[in-house]
Amino acid sequence: MNIIVEELHARGHSVSVVRTEDSWYIKESSPFYTAITLKMDCGFDHEFFTIFVGRLLEIQRKGRSFWARLELEMEEMKAMSILHKMWAELIEHIFDDKHFMESLRAVQFDVVLTDPFTLTGVMVARHLDLPLVFNVRWTFDGEGHFNIAPSPLSYIPLAGTELSDKMSFQERVLNILAYCFTQCKIAYFITSNYDGLMQKFFGQHSFISLFQRADLWLMRIDFVFEFPWPTMPNVIYMGGFQCKPAKPLPPHLEDFVQSSGEHGVIIMSLGTLISSLPREISEEIAAAFAKLPQKIIWRHTGKPPVSLGNNTLLVDWMPQNDLLGHAKTKVFVAHGGTNGVHEAIYHGVPILGLPLVFDQHDNLFKIKF
What CATH number does residue 302 fall under? 3.40.50.2000
Q: Domain limits at 129?
A: 46-237
In a domain, 243, yes or no: no
Cβ of 267: how many Cβ atoms within 10 Å? 26
Same domain (yes/no): 210, 64: yes
Nearest in space to 328 (alpha carbons), one of 293, 357, 299, 354: 293
In a domain, 244, yes or no: no
Same domain (yes/no): 256, 187: no
Same domain (yes/no): 224, 311: no
Same domain (yes/no): 151, 280: no
Same domain (yes/no): 99, 192: yes
Same domain (yes/no): 194, 84: yes
In a domain, 117, yes or no: yes
Of 237, 266, 289, the domain-final residue: 237
Same domain (yes/no): 60, 138: yes
In a domain, 228, yes or no: yes
Residues 6+ apart with CB under 8 A from 59: 68, 71, 72, 75
In a domain, 336, yes or no: yes
The residues facing 134 across adjacent strands are 114, 217
In a domain, 144, yes or no: yes
Same domain (yes/no): 181, 310: no
Pairwise CA distance, residues 342 & 336, whole Å: 10
**Could you list the pLDDT tens digit for every one of the 369 residues in the chain?**
888 999 999 999 999 999 888 777 788 888 999 999 888 776 666 677 777 877 887 887 777 777 887 888 888 888 888 888 888 888 898 999 999 999 999 999 999 999 998 888 999 999 999 999 999 988 877 888 888 899 999 999 998 888 999 999 999 999 999 999 888 888 888 888 888 888 888 887 677 888 888 999 999 988 888 899 999 999 999 998 999 999 999 999 999 999 999 999 999 998 766 666 778 888 999 999 999 999 999 998 888 999 999 999 999 889 999 999 999 999 999 988 888 999 999 999 999 998 877 778 888 888 876
Same domain (yes/no): 114, 260: no
Count structural domains, the chain: 3
Cβ of 56: how many Cβ atoms within 10 Å? 18
